[in-house]
Structure 1
Amino acid sequence: MKVGLRLFQVSLWIVVGVLGSVGGGAFPAMAQEEPGSDEGLALSDVLEAQPDDLQPALSAPSAEIPQLHELEQPATTIEDWVAQIEASLVQITNVRVEATDTGLQVILETENGVLEVPETQSVGNALIADIPNATIAEEFSQAEPIDGIALMSVSRLPGGRVRVAITGTDAPPVAEVRTEAQGLVLAVTLGDADAVTEEDAIQVVVIGEQDEGYNPSSASTATRTDTPLRDIPQSIQVIPQRVIEDQGVTGLQDAVRNNAPGVTTSANYAGTGQGEFIIRGFQQNNNFRNGFRAGRFGYIADLADVERIEVLRGPASVLFGQLQPGGIVNLVTEQPLSEPTYNIEFTGGQFSFYRPELDFSGPLTENGELLYRLNVAYQNAGSFRDEVNSERFFIAPVLQWNISENTTLTVDFSYLYNDPVFDRGLVALSDGSLVLPINRFLGYPSLDDYIEEQVRAGYRFEHRFNENWELRNAFSFSSVLQTGFHSDFAGRLIDDRFVPREYLDSEFLNEEYGLQTDLIGRFSTGSLQHQLLAGFDLNRSTDSYVSRFAPLPPLDIFDPNYDVSTPSETESGYFQTVFNNNLGIYIQDQITVLENLKLLVGGRLDFTEQEQNFFGEEGSQSDTAFSPRIGIVYQPIEPISLYASFSQSFFPVIGRSRTNETFRPERGTQYEIGVRADITDNLSATLAAYDITKTNVLTTDLNDPNFSIQVGEQRSQGIELTLTGEILPGWNIYAGYTYTDARVTEDNDIPEGDILRSVPEHGANLWTTYEIQTGNFRGLGFGLGLIFVDEREAELPNSNFQVPGYVRTDVALFYQRERWRAAINIRNLFDVEYYETAQNRNAVYPGAPLNVTASLSYTF
């Protein structure tokens, strides 16, 4: 562990060095005198001198050569660096709008420096001009400056840019841009009235504003409403598409592990990228997609159509029903765009990896009533693991019908086919050691015919009655099928050398049906302002599993022989079917007491029914549970939000006690406090502390060991810190740290104090990029990532087997100009041997060694 911490410290120094070198190359640190000035010879003259000219320069009197103390020194503090960066940007000090005979002119005044003449584009009926290498002292906005212009605004964008947006009432305006002594002038005339409608323009402007880079300001998972993060009294982390793209990630597990410290996976189910997430110490049995249950541990998520990933930490039963108390991961998918947009991308790399991908979107009708989006991806890859490869195909079309100004209907569908080699990873010896090379395959590849298919379909209907009330109704269906024969483990390691294997022909089917209806209203009662959410959802899930098996020869882990014949006969194995029905009725009120004081009060009543057939033995039970949440947010000053909250969760426990009574649901209770600080407009930090207790945990009944009793208790306490956004123009950061103490506090079998499985005590991540903003290398960027995961217990009760901690370093180089983007991503730069997770000592999943991928994309 000391070695891991030392590597982490070394990697941090690398960050400082890389960013320092980038800063030194991109930002002027010395004052250079103009050639020919009376003050003496400029430094640039010496550097640019030809050999014949060098001697006179060197022989010049010392008074004519600038001395070190006369040069402006490089920045030595962050404050100095910020000052230098801001000084390099041309500042717009004033915006003047004047009516003319043909329209209006917009004058952007500056004190020092000349603004670059930007290119303009029409988006809907809005004229957009993005000015590079600029900033503005105070953002400007004016509604209806003249007839025919609905809105005119000048705003600051990330990356040292300023956007001028002029929205026409009936058509996109036209502008001639020129530089004059008074500043940059946009001479605007009204456009052709046969363009798009005002409603379309408003939608386009909103979409543009939602591109917030590394620092999204709002999320929907925590409240089912689009609520600013600063107003949510619970920790929620948003992983935006920009971060995922810069890291070159294509799988859900990698995206979450890279960016949500402390969140691990319980497994990597046979190398397929599946596995349930462990959040705040507790294993979650469901992932979510657009607010619907997307499947259990068998869920594979391709990120081709994902806009962002929202990680809600803490109990979520108040809106999502039966769940473990640690939190949930919700994927928010891309939606159709009102302007034609086409993107194609190809990625290739080590281990025979290649992946073409396309993303097309736009209107299907001239009036824009019908919009579409289509995401398609194909992936074929080998592996650093012997005998292992995979193939995947994914397609996701979306259709949106804008029925009227206030009514939309969106229909979506997706299909995923995945064909991997079933790979259970490595094994640990009886003393807990991991001695096998990470490429060793411990199965029989000739017996592999395992595949997975996922089908998803649904709709979302939204209707606004007026500005204050709206109705949402949505339906989702998902089917996850895993089938085919393969070799699997059949027991623990024998004599620390032979791993038992069996031939397994199985079929697992998970089907999820979900129906949600929400009514959202905004109103006032006296001085209190309310945003009310009331609704219900219906969920039905079916899990069925059936298998047949045959014994196989044990495999020698040190000298494997993969030559084996297919068994001619199989025996009946496991059989189980579980039906789960749930009705949830919920209400939530977001109350603005004062401008800087907000309350969140909500509750949900759930009615659940479970039916199961286990080897022909049928059983059923029903439960009722109420899950409350109360939170308060206080903002002493505008950039700071202090919050505190109380929330509960529930999760049904199937079975009966010694007295033939059904078990009560497990209950989770959390207390959380935190602070969110908007350090700048583009940089935010969040600090949270929590305490979760889970009760009604099953343990052995001491009066009869053949039965269980609900006296077990588990507790998790911790601290979480995140920092996201843009530090300086072009310099982004996405970082976090977590401390988690998750233990058994009461149990009849497990010793009190044992650490919960796969939970690191410490976890940290850092991903930072810098993109050059000006000059010939504008658009060239660099990225550096550090991931630290502490040692984890692999079994409960704890044993002599722990998964070692590690520090992994990733780097990236990218270049984007106009419609092109090229990138090289190197993962595990220092070729560290590490293990991502362990299901138990018989299934340990190693991480990949150093590997390189390159991608090229084009948008048109």
Structure 2
Amino acid sequence: MANQLWRLALVMSSVLMLATTAQAEVVAEETEEVRRKDSLAPLLLSDFEQPTTAIAEWMAQIEQPAIQVTGVQINVTAAGLNIALETNEPLATPSTSVVGNVLIADVPNAVLALPEGEEFQAANPAEGIALVSVAPRGDGIRVAITGTEAPPVAEVRTEAQGVVLAVTLGEPGEIAEEDAIQVVVTGEQEDGYAVPDASTATRTDTPLRDIPQSIQVVPRQVIEDQAVTELQDAVRNVSGVVEGNTFGSTQENFIIRGFQQGFQLGSTLRDGFRANGSFSGVRDLANIERIEVLKGPASAIFGGAIEPGGLINIITKQPLEEPFYSAELQAGSFGFVRSTVDLSGPLNADRTLLYRLNLAYERGDGFRDFDQGIERIFVAPVVLWRIGDRTDLTLELEYLNDERPFDRGLIADGDDVVDIPFERILGEPDDIARNEELSIGYRLEHRFSENWRIRNALRFTDAYLPNQRAQPQRFDESTGILTRAWSDQEYFVNGYALQTNVIGEFSTGSIEHTLLFGVDLERQAYDSEGFGTDAPSINVFDPVYGVAARPEQDEFPTEAGIFNQQIDLLGIYLQDQVTLLDNLKLLLGGRFDIVDQRTELGGRFGEGESQQQYEAFTPRIGIVYQPIEPLSLYASFSQSFAPNSGRTVDNSILEPVRGTQYEIGMRGEWLDGRLVTNLAAYHLTRSNIAATDPENPDFSIAIGEQRSQGVEFDVIGEILPGWNAIASYAYTDAEITRDNSPLEGNRLFGVPENAASLWSTYEIQSGDLQGLGFGLGLFFIGERQGDADNSFQVPSYVRTDASLFYRRDNWRAAINVKNLFDVDYIESVPNFRTAINPGSPLTVLATVSVEF
């Protein structure tokens, strides 16, 4: 208890310090990273520093209605060109600045209302001018004019019908090509569905079109439009991903390309760091910027603990230079209430210290008949310190306190799910699970030059996860009687990970390289203690609860079962992204891992210790060919290995799980990059898998080899102005291909052969109803096998979601309806007949948010 109070005091002190400092600051700029390039590429509007605005001026702008710019006209003159922003009333005088060869003009308190779209661009409108771009920027409009040899010069005139910039060419300076700069914004992403880059596949910021492996990104805009509050609702938009074993709805686990994530170490990452495997709880999304899902083996870059189906990497929000304040309130069905706060900005005048603070509080009763619902508190401060021009240090902390029912769900009856109301529980109404987790870490980056940098990061996590439940055991179909057992468990989880890598860009003749070399060190430790004894049986058709009191730990007739495990991993990896030609790229990589695994048993499990150490090399090879600018064709080969979670009845640890994948695919970026498509076909094998020993359910056996092969298709982006969509389809053929038991030839449990999703929104772009939008979603999951024996199946379903929203200035209000037609469906099956997870019924959620 003293430990917990100390942690809470530390967190709240950090919150108060950051919030107080944030209120005292009045100026900021948008975070940006400047790096030199070898060519004078035109720069876009989002690439540049925003001028400082005092709070008094800023508040005055909010109070005034924004002036609509209804047209942009460019007229070539003898001296250069005139750019006219057309309005029905005078605009404020723009402020101007110069970055590199670009002249920037910021027009405050204005909004674009162009009939042809949300932005205006004109390439090479006059000699010496490479690009003119006009786009929204904060509470105003930004005009960027890129000169080919020097920054243009502009005379600004305000008129009754708008603003005119009379542009003339500047004198060429002494800027050589190698000194030309490109400004890269590293703060908040612009609203939108299509994301051009990702870091998960290569640990470098790489365009998706250059990655020879299937990767999908779920951006923040999709999360907001769908009113997503849990990770499972976000990744249902991605092909080949379905929910796996949730351990009584207390954890997040997924099946990717047919394979369940590892029980101990898991395949969900946070900013490239592994979460606490299956022992981690339900993650809060308050500080998430986007979610990247990499399909297929990833051990070549993330080490020997990633299952071959793929991984999910959660990218968190980072501090901004521009002051940003956001608050959101959600309320809906089953007593659900959730509030979040997002604050960011500078902590000092010269903006070498930036912060971000995300807070969330949530409670809800849920649709299942438990005495107590979900209640959680989440706090996540981040501080960025720019130690110098070349060195940045980021300090991060997350604190989560979560309490929710432990809910094993429904049970199977013959070859189907027992026919009882979905809200009926088969444990006890006071079954509960708790999770208190503290995570701290840092990220340090030093840039030796424009082309070479070193990164070092550390993350430490400590969690305590107790639960108490009446565990369903065996069901008698003839009588309706379900036997149960009292279970009282505690998990103590802690671990750290240290990552160091060097990234360098260089050329060998005409061939360009991006080299990555790194070393990872990781330790994960799990200590558990569990008590169990018989509990009163229950009739599932006419349940009576509270027949006997739940025993305290010292009242259990048998001693505790003790299971402790420690896994140490050391990995060294090397990767080279090679540009052979502008349209031909090669990815070569490999990693060598040493894994040490120790297990200790005690109490009613018997006394015993076991240790296993093994080494592995995992390669990855991929090639990308781009026959035309928007299309990429790729092929890849990759392997993986992971520590086995299983141990046999004689207490020996199974050999590591091995995976091998062959993949080919096509990725397209259409409509000037606003719409992204990805088509992939793969063949993936996984060998030496642990499964529950049917004779000894507390232990495991190896069941040989599993194979998954299929086709996946993903689409995301803006089809027309205001019309966004994200869609997916997956065909997955997953089965047990080699085994010494009747399981051989069975389909893998929980894996639908066909699955598809579609979510689309449209927002009215002009007129009296501008800002009003509508959304519709369809989520289809085909029939799945309920267990490895294929003894029962859960039927297919289609879930329909809808939304109605309205945006105006810095306000947004929305109503989201999930499961519009109130269909009964099964969310997941974890290979147990007595732990089937039902999906939520018709749910309505209202959201109001405001940004400053």
Q: What interval of TM-score do these two structures reach, taking the shorter chain for normalisation? A: 0.7 to 0.9
Aligned residue for 1:668?
Answer: 659
Q: Spell out, residue by residue over 1:570-610, the C-alpha distance to the aligned partner (whole angstroms, 9 max, x if none).
A: 13232111100000000000000000000000000000100
* SS of alignment partner, residue 222 of structure 2: helix
2:112 to 131, 149, 152: 131
Q: Does 1:289 align with 2:270?
A: yes
Q: Distance in 2 between matches of 1:490 and 1:708?
A: 18
- How many Å apart are 1:524 and its aligned residue? 0.4
* SS of alignment partner, residue 536 of structure 1: strand
Query: Measured at CA, do residues 677 and 450 of structure 1 come closer, stay the same or move farther in structure 2, by a change above 3 Å?
Result: closer
1:603 to 590, 596, 601: 590
Q: Does 1:280 align with 2:257?
A: yes
Q: How does 1:233-248 map to 2 (within 5 A)?
A: 233-248=212-227
- How many Å apart are 1:562 and its aligned residue? 1.2
Query: Measured at CA, do residues 509 and 719 of structure 1 come closer, stay the same or move farther in structure 2, by a change above 3 Å?
Result: same
Q: Does 1:828 align with 2:799?
A: no
Q: How does 1:293-692 map to 2 (within 5 A)?
A: 293-299=274-280, 300-322=282-304, 323-387=306-370, 388-446=372-430, 448-493=431-476, 495=478, 497-563=480-546, 564-567=548-551, 569-570=555-556, 571-615=558-602, 616-653=607-644, 664-681=655-672, 682-692=674-684
Aligned residue for 2:41?
Answer: none
- Is the Cα–Cα contact under 8 Å of residues 772 and 778 in structure 1 kept in the other structure? yes
- Is the Cα–Cα contact under 8 Å of residues 336 and 373 in structure 1 kept in the other structure? yes
| Runs of 5+ consecutive residues of structure 2 not aligned to the other structure | 1-68, 99-103, 169-180
- Is the Cα–Cα contact under 8 Å of residues 76 and 126 in structure 2 kept in the other structure? no
Q: Which stretch shows the higher mean deviation, 206-215 or 367-376?
A: 206-215
Q: Spell out, residue by residue over 1:8-52, the C-alpha distance to the aligned partner (whole angstroms, 9 max, x if none).
A: xxxxxxxxxxxxxxxxxxxxxxxxxxxxxxxxxxxxxxxxxxxxx
Query: Measured at CA, do residues 489 and 658 of structure 1 come closer, stay the same or move farther in structure 2, by a change above 3 Å?
Result: closer
Aligned residue for 1:742?
Answer: 734
- Is the Cα–Cα contact under 8 Å of residues 91 and 163 in structure 2 kept in the other structure? no
* SS of alignment partner, residue 579 of structure 1: strand
- How many Å apart are 1:752 and its aligned residue? 2.7
Aligned residue for 2:66?
Answer: none
- How many Å apart are 1:426 and its aligned residue? 1.2
| Runs of 5+ consecutive residues of structure 1 not aligned to the other structure | 1-88, 100-104, 146-150, 190-201
Q: Distance in 2 between matches of 1:559 and 1:674?
A: 53
Q: One-letter code of the match for 1:613? A: E
Q: One-letter code of the match for 1:316? A: A
Q: Distance in 2 between matches of 1:174 and 1:166?
A: 13
Aligned residue for 1:63?
Answer: none
Aligned residue for 1:154?
Answer: 133
Query: Measured at CA, do residues 715 and 426 of structure 1 come closer, stay the same or move farther in structure 2, by a change above 3 Å?
Result: same
Q: Distance in 1 between matches of 2:187 and 2:650?
A: 62
Query: Measured at CA, do residues 90 and 462 of structure 1 come closer, stay the same or move farther in structure 2, by a change above 3 Å?
Result: same
Q: One-letter code of the match for 1:303? A: L
Q: Distance in 2 between matches of 1:188 and 1:454?
A: 57
Q: One-letter code of the match for 2:586? A: L
* SS of alignment partner, residue 597 of structure 2: strand
- Is the Cα–Cα contact under 8 Å of residues 275 and 298 in structure 1 kept in the other structure? no
Q: One-letter code of the match for 2:495? A: E
- How many Å apart are 1:726 and its aligned residue? 0.4
Q: One-letter code of the match for 2:106? A: I
- Is the Cα–Cα contact under 8 Å of residues 465 and 490 in structure 2 kept in the other structure? yes
- How many Å apart are 1:109 and its aligned residue? 6.1
Q: One-letter code of the match for 1:233? A: P
Q: Distance in 1 between matches of 2:624 and 2:755?
A: 27
Q: Distance in 1 between matches of 2:97 and 2:400?
A: 34
Q: One-letter code of the match for 2:257? A: R
Q: What TM-score results when the alignment is normalised by the length of structure 2? A: 0.80
Query: Measured at CA, do residues 592 and 585 of structure 1 come closer, stay the same or move farther in structure 2, by a change above 3 Å?
Result: same
- How many Å apart are 1:807 and its aligned residue? 0.3
Q: How does 1:34-53 map to 2 (within 5 A)?
A: none
Q: Distance in 1 between matches of 2:125 and 2:393?
A: 33
Aligned residue for 1:224?
Answer: 203
Q: Does 1:264 align with 2:242?
A: yes
Q: Spell out, residue by residue over 1:156-209, the C-alpha distance to the aligned partner (whole angstroms, 9 max, x if none).
A: 6899x9852479999xx99665476xx9524799xxxxxxxxxxxx99961479
Q: Distance in 1 between matches of 2:146 and 2:509?
A: 36
Q: Distance in 2 between matches of 1:843 and 1:657?
A: 23
Q: How does 1:2-17 map to 2 (within 5 A)?
A: none
Q: Distance in 1 between matches of 2:137 and 2:835?
A: 45
Q: One-letter code of the match for 1:645? A: S
Query: Measured at CA, do residues 534 and 475 of structure 1 come closer, stay the same or move farther in structure 2, by a change above 3 Å?
Result: same
Q: Spell out, residue by residue over 1:124-171, the C-alpha distance to the aligned partner (whole angstroms, 9 max, x if none).
A: 9965356331454634699999xxxxx995156899x9852479999x
RMSD: 3.5
* SS of alignment partner, residue 636 of structure 1: strand
Q: Distance in 2 between matches of 1:842 and 1:142?
A: 72
Aligned residue for 1:53?
Answer: none
Query: Measured at CA, do residues 804 and 559 of structure 1 come closer, stay the same or move farther in structure 2, by a change above 3 Å?
Result: same
Q: Distance in 2 between matches of 1:124 and 1:357?
A: 36
- Is the Cα–Cα contact under 8 Å of residues 814 and 822 in structure 1 kept in the other structure? yes
- How many Å apart are 1:96 and its aligned residue? 5.9
Q: One-letter code of the match for 1:517? A: T
- Is the Cα–Cα contact under 8 Å of residues 576 and 612 in structure 1 kept in the other structure? yes
Q: Which stretch shows the higher mean deviation, 283-292 or 262-271?
A: 262-271
Aligned residue for 2:776?
Answer: 784
Q: Distance in 2 between matches of 1:796 and 1:659?
A: 23
* SS of alignment partner, residue 663 of structure 2: strand
Q: Which stretch shows the higher mean deviation, 773-782 or 260-269?
A: 260-269
Q: Distance in 2 between matches of 1:140 and 1:154?
A: 11
Q: Which stretch shows the higher mean deviation, 830-839 or 237-246?
A: 830-839
